[in-house]
């Protein structure tokens, strides 16, 4: 079980958080102008990397804030956490 | 008999306190400090159980938690009955009752023992191979297999004991209180670190604490007296907490360790009363030091499993620690120097050592010299080829090993004995380390897996790190700790250490016999009866992966998880398959290290505390009025209110009729309520609902449907505009938390520019829904100041009001199709307003109804229930709710998905009404719908989602999803059931009051 450093609250147990999948997938501004394939790309396609992955997490049983995390999925090491809207760090 | 096996007094045993206990129905006694195993051995009992498959007699093999054989049932036939307990870990107390497992009628005469003689017919995979054909016979086989499988018996009553959970946060956790662990814990504590030291045994000190040989000296004292002094100082260290009888069960990532603290199992039944039995410690440590020691390996030779065959280290512990001799005529069998220490301990206590069989050719060391000087016979380069004695060993046969160790030469020598101590070297206890994600490496020179890379801030020290000798440990450990803890000082540098052993070892995974392997029984996994033969068979049959061989032969799959034999299994596989051990790897060590009882795992979360449940403010009223409840998410919702012995059907029919004919009242407090405020609230609703919201007037309500981005219906509910920038949204009961989460997600991550604030107010309001033709009259009595006229208060509108001094919100909305009102009031007044409504409605026979009637009433109107009539594959178009999807809005969540190639298919499953041709037949929800019952293979078109008998229409009604159902109006379809085929006609899902006249009645 991880200890996650919520950018708003500090270190908390993983059980307070909810994972929200891959980060930095932006909802298209004009969905109606997209082809089926382009929309499917946004809707369904997600990476599942063994290694460094950028993820969304939510402090669901805490401040309820969403934030981003960089995690090495091969050993669960959390490399960085940062607020929504902040530039992702390069790892 | 017992006295003769008690040898020189041990200071760890209190011989002044006699403890009486029962084993297999007979009375025995031991002393305070004895384990069940040591007390049994003192009473001359070695035969404790029967093996799993062949029912061979098995005795005590070890003196610790790795015990595979001596597992017993405690307190059988009582609520505290506990199976599969290791006799080597049970501390005896007055009144203890233990019995053997896996034997009938008794451990001495066990009918299942016939399997031993049938064993040539019971190879690895026997059950898989034999009981496959014919497949239809499985049910018959299963009965007998289940009966003969399983070791202990589960208790049949609920556990009367109390269990607890506790969180501990510390700087340093040290697992294992042997010499390395004590040095580590004291160094950490003396450097100001908050330290916790745990050990599974009742006392600290590991194996060093009873090591009083002159051959082991630290600073010129025996190693045990040096360590004793170290332990005595612990109490004065303020930031060092010690927990004994505490076994680390699991080591997870981020230094999260679960440990079981055993608080009362060693006390007499009387002393346990009202005490917590076990505590599950949830330890989060900044740094973890693992000092779990090592386990002695057995050796794999023919008939190596008889009672009286023990690990050499166990023989030593029984004599040195418990003061008990395992036999009167002992033989030791070894491939390293450890057995000589045991020999020395026995010799000093005057116990006969018949011989030492050493498979090494010419091992020399100080301790071997000493043993030889005492005139003890050592057979060098010999191996045991067979043993005899059914219920206890009485003879061994030895032969000389060939040069390469693969066969035996010369003639057989027989030796009588009643105890055989075996030492095959040592295996670092790396179980916890690997659980944490640590990776091992294989050390070729002495055939051990040792920790290699650490996934978190942790270190393994001492013999669990592959340092087996005291001088090595004391040289290395203090430095390792200093570096790991990043501290300046440790008191343990530059200790002077004397040892007399030599580390030489001759490793032969499977020792040869004069018989061919097919005629031998060299056990590798003692508990599961897997032999070297079985492993070789598995390899011959083509199994290569170590994980597959494990499962096929069941090696390492017992309650002991193969703590003793796993290394040999790996060795034999590697050797036979011709691969390197390091490349073969190990099987996965899984938590828990030793079994945990369910009580410990659940702690206080039992009975009504098993899961939290939520009650509405009116809950007590429902209970008082005989309601049956149903669980909706975590809520307890009133399901129906039976009177005069009604069953559910009768109650629901009565409630449903009353609601339409006069008045019904429903507790709707569980519906999710989200308060939405901000200048962009209307824009936000526009984006999250499928319909348009900007033009909704203040004081009006609107029904909305929410979709996932993939276009599938997700939730629904009525939202009311309270003010220009203020809405109150209702959600389904079960979906409330998810809707809130999803809305927050979009606000925070996609549309942070919107000025919108969400607050969950579900628990803040009680919601009372009054419906039926007389509802207006009733609410007018409850809120006399409010103008309820249709002109002023039409359907789908809202008013602020007061009941007495208490503010309330009244909405005229309906989920039943009846004229109805919803009163929302501060939760604490919910019950009294409910009672007021009941009082006011008395003259109209106001009838409380539960969720079942609510479902029936809405089904009459064809209103959907999200999650019942929909699953995650239904779009609003599939639900024939096109009317609620705005064509004008540029975008909303899920809009683009409504015209993907897949969602516009005509033959998607669509929601329709179903009427049975015989109106008295009520369909089963979930039943499959077909068009042609004769077509093979039969084609499923869909299924029934909701089905009721409507008392208001006097016929059965149902909703269902049918492929292409939209274009099937009036078509005949069939529902094949077990004994009959029901014919139905596709109909409009709105069965009652299509014109919505009743809403305004």
**Confidence band (pLDDT; 50, 70, 90) for B143?**
low
**Residues of chain A in Cβ contact (below 8 Å) with chain B:** 1-3, 13, 18, 20, 26-27, 30-32, 34, 36, 39-40, 43, 56, 58, 60, 64-66, 75-77, 84-85
- B405 pLDDT above the threshold of 50: yes
B748 touches chain A (CB under 8 A): yes
Residue B144 has pLDDT above 80, yes or no: no
Q: Taking a C-beta distance cutoff of 8 angstroms, is the pair B220, B172 a contact?
A: no
Beta bridge partners of B442: B449
* Token pair in block for residue B258: 């679960």
> Within 10 A of A80 (CB to CB), how many other CB atoms are there?
15
Buried b (16+ CB within 10 A) or exposed e, B573-582: bbebeeeebe
Joined together, the tokens standing for residue B162 give 């109390």
A20 to chain B: nearest residue by CA? B745
- pLDDT of B155 reads 87
- pLDDT, tens only, B620-663: 999 999 999 999 999 999 999 999 999 999 999 999 999 999 99
Q: Is the CB of A40 less than 8 angstroms away from the CB of B900?
A: yes
**Cross-chain CB nearest to B895 (options A13, A31, A56):** A31
- Above 80 in pLDDT, residue B951? yes
**The pLDDT of residue B646:** 97
> Which chain A residues contact residue B747 at CB under 8 A?
none
Q: How far is B280 from chain A (nearest CA, A)?
A: 16
Residue B270 pLDDT greater than 50, yes or no: yes
Residue B128 has a pLDDT of 62
Mutation target vs A (from B896, B898, B902; most A CBs, 10 A cutoff): B896
**CA-to-CA distance for B595 and B623, rounded, in angstroms?**
42
Instruction: Reduce the DSSP state of residue B272 to 3 states and report it.
Output: helix
Exposed, middle or buried, B153 (CB in 10 Å: 0-12/13-18/19+)?
A: middle
Interface test mutation site (partner A, options B286, B436, B749, max chain A beta carbons within 10 A): B749
Work out the pLDDT band at B135, boundaries 50, 70, 90: low
Q: How far is A74 from chain B (nearest CA, A)?
A: 10
Look at residue B600 in the predicted model and tell me its pLDDT. Answer: 95
> Looking at the whole model, is its pTM more than 0.95?
no
Smallest CA–CA distance, residue A2 to chain B, in Å, is 6
Q: Determine the pLDDT at residue B376.
A: 96
Which pLDDT belongs to residue B1? 41
Listed in sequence order, the residues at least 6 apart from B114 whose beta carbon sits closer than 8 Å to its beta carbon are B55
Contacts of B843 (CB under 8 A, 6+ apart): none
What is the per-residue pLDDT across B496-540, written as a single tens digit (0 to 9) for each?
Answer: 998 887 888 999 999 999 999 889 999 999 988 899 999 999 999
Q: What pLDDT does residue B2 have? A: 44
Q: Is A48 helix (H, G, I), strand (E, B) or coil?
A: coil
**Strand locations in B724-785 (E):** 726-731, 757-760, 765-771
Residue B138 has pLDDT above 50, yes or no: yes
Flag whether residue B749 sits within 8 Å of chain A, measured between CB atoms: yes
pLDDT exceeds cutoff 80 at B787: yes
Q: Which residues of B touch A30 (CB under 8 A)?
A: 891
Q: Express as a percent the part of chain B with pLDDT over 70.
A: 95
- Which pLDDT value is given to residue B67? 95
b or e along B866-875 (b: 16 or more beta carbons within 10 Å of the residue's beta carbon)?
beebbeeebb
Angle, alpha carbons B223-B225-B226 (nearest 5°): 60
pLDDT of residue B870: 95
pLDDT in tens, B675-724: 999 999 999 999 999 999 989 999 999 999 999 999 999 999 999 999 99
Chain B window 508-537: which residues touch A at a Cβ cutoff of 8 Å?
none
Q: Which of residues 276-305 of B touch A (CB under 8 A)?
A: 284
- Contacts for B588 with CB less than 8 Å, ≥ 6 apart: B434, B547
In tens, the pLDDT along B369-391 reads: 999 999 999 999 999 999 999 99
pLDDT at residue B145, as a whole number: 53
Render pLDDT for A18-58 as a digit per residue (tens, 0 to 9): 999 999 999 999 999 999 999 999 999 999 999 999 999 99
Quickly state the pLDDT bin for B121 (edges 50, 70, 90): low
Total residues belonging to chain B: 1001
Name the residue facing A1 among B254, B750, B900 (closest C-beta).
B254
Q: What does the buried/exposed string (b/e) look like for B512-530 if buried means 16 or more CB atoms within 10 Å of the residue's CB?
A: bbbeeeeebbbbbbbbbbb
Give contacts of B749 with chain A, Cβ < 8 Å: 56, 66, 84
Encode pLDDT of B796-818 as tens digits.
999 999 999 999 999 999 999 99
More confident residue, B938 or B358: B358
Q: How far is B747 from chain A (nearest CA, A)?
A: 10
Minimal C-alpha gap between A43 and chain B (Å): 7
CB atoms within 10 A of CB B472: 16
Tell whether B437 lies on the interface with A, counting CB pairs under 8 A: yes
Q: Is residue B29 packed enough to be buried (19+ CB in 10 Å), middle (13-18) or exposed (0-12)?
A: middle
Q: Looking at residue B137, what is its pLDDT?
A: 62
Q: Is the ipTM of this complex over 0.95?
A: yes
For B395-400, what is the mean pLDDT? Answer: 97
Looking at residue B148, its pLDDT comes to 52
Cα of B345 to nearest chain A Cα, Å: 46
CB-CB neighbors (< 8 A) of A18 in chain B: 741
Beta bridge partners of A3: A13
pLDDT digits (tens, 9 = 90+) for B21-39: 999 999 999 999 999 999 9
Nearest CB to A32 within list B254, B284, B890 = B890
| Sheet arrangement for strand B217-218 | B221-222, B217-218, B497-498
Answer whether B254 sits within 8 Å of A76, measured CB to CB: yes
Predicted local distance difference test score (pLDDT) of residue B111: 67
The nearest alpha carbon in chain B to A63 belongs to: B744
* pLDDT in the model for residue B126: 64
Residue B405, chain A, CB below 8 Å: the answer is no
Instruction: State the pLDDT confidence band at B142, using cuts at 50, 70 and 90.
Output: low
Torsion of CA B744, B746, B751, B756, to 10 degrees: -30
- The Cβ of residue B131 has, within 10 Å, a number of other Cβ atoms equal to 15
How distant is the Cα of B257 from the closest Cα of chain A, in angstroms? Answer: 10
For chain B, the farthest-separated pair of C-alpha atoms sits apart, in whole angstroms, at: 115
Per-residue pLDDT band for B120 (boundaries 50, 70, 90) equals low
DSSP B402: P
**Chain-chain contact of A39 with B895 (C-beta, under 8 angstroms):** no
Q: How far apart are CA B873 and CA B879, in angstroms?
A: 11
Interval B148-204: pLDDT, tens: 555 678 888 999 999 999 999 999 999 999 999 999 999 999 999 999 999 999 999
pLDDT of B7 reads 85
- A58 to B745: CB separation less than 8 angstroms, yes or no: yes
Distance from the A25 Cα atom to the nearest Cα atom in chain B, whole angstroms? 10
CB contact under 8 A, A64 and B437: no
> B176 CA to chain A: closest CA distance, Å?
22
Q: Which chain A residues are Cβ-neighbours of B254 within 8 angstroms?
A: 1-3, 76
SS3 B610: coil
Contact: A84, B284; criterion CB under 8 Å: no
pLDDT at B130 over 90: no
Long-range contacts of B609-614 (CB under 8 A, 24+ apart): B614/B670, B614/B763
Nearest residue on chain A to B748, alpha-carbon basis: A66
Contacts with B456 (C-beta within 8 Å, 6 or more apart), sequence order: B253, B254, B255, B288, B436, B437
Task: Give exposure, B766-802, as e/b (b: 16+ Cβ within 10 Å).
Answer: bbbbbbbbbbbbbbbebbeebebeeeebeebbbbebe
Contacts of A36 in chain B (CB under 8 A): 900-901
């Amino acid at each position: 079980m991880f200890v996650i450093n919520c950018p708003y609250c500090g270190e908390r147990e993983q059980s307070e958080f909810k994972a929200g999948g891959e980060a930095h997938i932006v909802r298209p501004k004009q969905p109606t102008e997209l082809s089926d394939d382009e929309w499917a790309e946004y809707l369904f396609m997600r990476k599942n990397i063994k290694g460094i992955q950028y993820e969304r997490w939510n402090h669901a049983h805490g401040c309820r804030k969403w934030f981003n995390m960089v995690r090495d999925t091969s050993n669960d090491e959390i490399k960085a956490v940062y607020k929504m809207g902040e530039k992702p760090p390069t790892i | 008999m017992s006295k003769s096996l008690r040898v020189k007094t041990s200071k760890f045993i209190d011989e002044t306190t006699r403890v009486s206990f029962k084993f297999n129905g007979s009375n025995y006694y031991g002393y305070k400090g004895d384990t069940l195993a040591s007390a049994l051995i003192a009473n001359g009992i070695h035969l404790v159980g029967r093996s799993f498959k062949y029912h061979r007699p098995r005795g005590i093999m070890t003196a610790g938690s790795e015990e595979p054989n001596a597992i017993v049932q405690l307190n059988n036939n009582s609520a505290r009955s506990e199976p599969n307990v290791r006799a080597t870990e049970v501390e005896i107390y007055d009144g203890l009752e233990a019995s053997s497992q896996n034997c009938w009628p008794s451990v001495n005469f066990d009918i299942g023992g016939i399997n031993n003689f049938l064993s040539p017919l019971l190879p690895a995979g026997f059950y898989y191979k034999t009981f496959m054909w014919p497949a239809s016979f499985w049910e018959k086989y299963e009965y007998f297999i289940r009966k003969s499988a399983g070791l202990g018996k589960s208790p049949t009553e609920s556990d009367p004991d109390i269990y607890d959970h506790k969180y501990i946060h510390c700087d340093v956790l040290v697992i294992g209180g042997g010499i390395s662990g004590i040095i580590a814990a004291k160094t950490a504590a003396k450097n100001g670190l908050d330290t916790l030291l745990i050990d599974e045994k009742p006392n600290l000190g590991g194996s060093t604490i009873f090591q009083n040989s002159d051959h082991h000296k630290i600073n010129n004292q025996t190693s045990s007296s040096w360590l004793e002094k170290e332990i005595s100082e612990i109490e004065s260290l303020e930031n060092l907490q010690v927990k004994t009888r505490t076994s680390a069960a699991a080591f997870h990532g981020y230094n999260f360790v679960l440990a079981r603290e055993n608080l009362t199992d060693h006390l007499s039944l009387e002393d346990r009363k009202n005490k917590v039995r076990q505590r599950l410690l949830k330890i989060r440590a900044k740094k973890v030091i693992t000092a779990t020691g090592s386990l002695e390996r057995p050796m794999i030779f023919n008939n190596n499993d008889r009672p009286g065959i023990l690990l050499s280290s166990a023989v030593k512990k029984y004599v040195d620690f418990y003061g008990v001799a395992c036999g009167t005529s002992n033989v030791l069998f070894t491939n390293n120097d450890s057995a000589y220490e045991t020999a020395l301990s026995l010799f000093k206590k005057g116990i006969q050592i018949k011989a030492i069989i050493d498979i090494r050719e010419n091992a020399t060391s100080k301790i071997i010299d000493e043993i030889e000087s005492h005139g003890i016979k050592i057979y060098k380069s010999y191996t045991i080829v067979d043993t005899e004695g059914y219920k206890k060993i009485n003879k061994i046969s030895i032969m000389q090993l060939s040069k390469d160790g693969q066969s035996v030469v010369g003639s057989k020598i027989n030796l009588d004995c009643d105890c055989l101590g075996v030492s095959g070297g040592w295996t670092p206890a790396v179980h916890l380390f690997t659980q944490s994600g640590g990776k091992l490496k294989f050390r070729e020179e002495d055939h051990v897996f040792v920790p290699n890379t650490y996934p978190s801030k942790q270190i393994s020290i001492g013999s669990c790190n592959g340092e087996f000798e005291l001088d090595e440990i004391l040289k290395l450990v203090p430095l390792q700790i200093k570096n790991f803890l990043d501290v300046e000082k440790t008191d343990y540098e530059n200790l002077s250490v004397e040892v007399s052993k030599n580390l030489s070892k001759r490793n032969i995974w499977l020792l040869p016999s004069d018989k061919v392997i097919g005629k031998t029984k060299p056990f590798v996994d003692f508990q599961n009866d897997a032999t070297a033969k079985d492993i070789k068979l598995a390899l011959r049959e083509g199994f290569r992966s170590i994980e597959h061989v494990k499962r096929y032969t069941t090696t390492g799959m017992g309650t002991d998880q193969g703590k003793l034999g796993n290394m040999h299994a790996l060795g034999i596989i590697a050797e036979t398959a011709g691969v390197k051990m390091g490349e073969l790897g190990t099987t996965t060590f899984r938590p828990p290290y030793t079994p945990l009882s369910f009580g410990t795992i659940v702690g206080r979360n039992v009975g009504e505390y098993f899961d939290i449940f939520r009650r509405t403010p009116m809950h007590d009223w429902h209970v008082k009025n005989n309601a049956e409840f149903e669980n909706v998410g975590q809520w307890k919702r009133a399901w129906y209110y039976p009177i005069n012995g009604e069953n559910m059907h009768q109650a629901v029919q009565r409630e449903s009729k009353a609601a339409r004919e006069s008045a019904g009242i429903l507790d709707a407090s569980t519906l999710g309520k989200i308060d939405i405020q901000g200048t962009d609230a209307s824009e936000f609703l526009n984006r999250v609902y499928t319909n348009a919201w900007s033009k909704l007037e203040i004081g009006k309500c609107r029904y909305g449907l929410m979709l996932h981005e993939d276009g599938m219906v997700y939730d629904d509910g009525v939202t009311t505009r309270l003010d220009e920038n203020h809405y109150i949204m209702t959600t389904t009961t079960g979906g409330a938390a998810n809707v809130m989460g999803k809305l927050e997600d979009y606000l925070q991550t996609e549309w942070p520019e919107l000025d919108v604030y969400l607050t969950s107010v579900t628990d803040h309001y009680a919601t009372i829904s009054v419906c039926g033709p007389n509802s207006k009259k009733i609410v007018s009595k409850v809120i006399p100041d409010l103008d309820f006229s249709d002109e002023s208060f039409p359907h789908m509108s809202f008013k602020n009001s007061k009941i007495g001094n208490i503010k309330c919100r009244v909405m005229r909305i309906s989920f039943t199709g009846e004229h109805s009102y919803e009163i929302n009031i501060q939760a604490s007044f919910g019950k009294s307003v409910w009672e007021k409504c009941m009082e006011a409605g008395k003259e109209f026979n106001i009838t409380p109804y539960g969720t079942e009637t609510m479902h029936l009433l809405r089904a009459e109107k064809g209103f959907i229930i999200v999650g019942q009539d929909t699953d995650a594959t239904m779009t609003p178009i599939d639900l024939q709710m096109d009317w609620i999807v705005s064509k004008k809005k540029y975008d909303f969540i899920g809009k683009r998905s409504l015209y993907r190639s897949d969602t516009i298919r005509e033959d998607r499953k669509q929601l329709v009404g179903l009427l049975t041709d015989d109106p008295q037949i009520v369909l089963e929800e979930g039943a499959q719908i077909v068009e042609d019952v004769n077509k093979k293979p039969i084609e499923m078109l869909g299924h029934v989602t909701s089905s009721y008998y409507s008392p208001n229409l006097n016929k059965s009604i149902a909703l269902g999803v049918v492929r292409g159902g939209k274009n099937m109006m009036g078509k005949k379809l069939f529902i094949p059931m077990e004994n009959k085929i029901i014919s139905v006609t596709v109909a409009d899902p709105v069965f009652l009051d299509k014109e919505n006249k009743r809403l305004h009645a």
